[in-house]
Amino acid sequence: MHYFDYAATTKMSGLALEAYMETAKHFYGNSESLHDIGTNAHAVLEKSRALISGYLGIPAESIYFTSGGTEGNLLAILSLAMGAANKGKHIISSMAEHASVHSALSFLEQQGFEVTRIPFTKKGTLHLDKLEQAIRPDTVLVSIQHLNQEIGTIQPIGDISRIVKGRGILFHSDCVQSFGKADLNSIIPFVDSITVSSHKIHGPKGVGAVYIHPSCVVKPVFSHLSHEKGIRGGTVNVPGIAGFAVAVEDISIERERDWAFRNLLKQASGGMVTFIEGAPEAQLPSLVGCMIPGVQGQLVLLECNKAGFAISTGSACQEHHEGGSKAVEAMGYPKEVSDQFFRISFGRYTTKEEVVLLGKTLKKIAAVYGKIRYPFGIKI
């Protein structure tokens, strides 16, 4: 198979795998145990924490390890919201967040919070005017992803911060897709919390981290827990975290190469594929949202799979649930259009030859199934 689903997960790198196995073999103790074996595991844990926090340019004590991006978003959003509940119970987010963010917000709604969800512009970025209009005296938290997981648009984190920070509103950003692909150091000063994940950057699965600014009042979701300062319970996955740290050290951002691949895909598909994208300065080149007019995204996925190409129809966390692209719907297009969405993503091991072959395959699929017009009279 030719792999074009790097936005879903990545193959563990050789260095990360070696670190994982060596740590599991030699530093197997519980990091909270007081004997030497536990102390040695704790030393590996804290060295890994320092490496990851150093990459992000944040204090090591502000990093909390989790089981991945989903748990990270749940813990960060719930902890921040509950910590600020005495000031208000209104939260603002976007219509196109990751499923884990929607899950956290739905839970908070059951606890008496109100949530306002802001749409996207036609360029796939947050409607800043609508964000400002949605702010209320009881707004305590805004949660906006840094990079959309379906179409790869980069959200204006600095602009959002300038709108909310002067009003004492906490700002969380899901950075799982952007970590290792875009510059996170430049957005850290604008946020109170971010979530990152290991398996998106060639590290082990089942490992992630949350950054929460030390000044934030955080109320743990579950009380009486000892690990990770009580923010998250359970024995810490030291081997996975060691592999995560090594993967962070091995990060390489290839924007120029990825722009070349993106343009090559457009050329090879012969104009038969509609690309859903933002302005160049607000677009991650390696994540490509697409449609073949008149063809269901699921059909494109199946035909590509038969031809030996692994693509997706959106976030793997909601792949088996009914519904099209949340990002396309947030941009104002009807569900009939969003159902035609599919996603292609490049990564470390993608080759020029594979991109050309995929483009030609999509061109063939469009020739067999596609309609030579934009669906429902809408041009994306």
Tell how far CA 372 is from the center of its chain: 34
How many CA atoms does the CB half-sphere of 80 hold within 13 Å?
Answer: 33
**Does the active-site annotation cover 175?**
no
Q: Report which of 282, 287, 315, 254 is spatially closest to residue 152, judged by C-alpha positions.
A: 287
Q: Sign of the C-alpha dihedral, residues 7, 11, 15, 20?
A: positive
Alpha helix (H) residue ranges in 193-282: 238-249, 255-268
Residue tagged active-site, from 175, 290, 304, 317: 317
Q: What is the DSSP letter of 269?
A: T
Q: What are phi and psi of 268, to 5 degrees?
A: -70, -30
Beta bridge partners of 87: none
110 burial class (0-12, 13-18, 19+ CB within 10 angstroms)?
exposed
Beta strands 139-143; 90-94: pairing state: parallel
Neighbour order of strands in the sheet with 341-345: 274-276, 287-291, 341-345
Q: Rounded to an integer, what distance in angstroms lies between the CA atom of residue 361 and that of residue 113?
A: 47
What single letter denotes the amino acid at residue 86? N
Look at residues 357, 378, 353, 361 and name the one whose alpha carbon lies nearest to residue 274.
378
- Note whether 301 and 311 are within 8 A (CB): yes
Q: Please list, residue by residue across 169-188, b when 16 or more beta carbons sit within 10 angstroms of its beta carbon and e when fewer do.
A: bbbbbbbbbbbbbbebeebb
> How much helix, strand and coil, in percent to the nearest 5, is found in the chain?
45, 15, 40
Q: Could you give the residue numbers annotated as active site?
A: 317
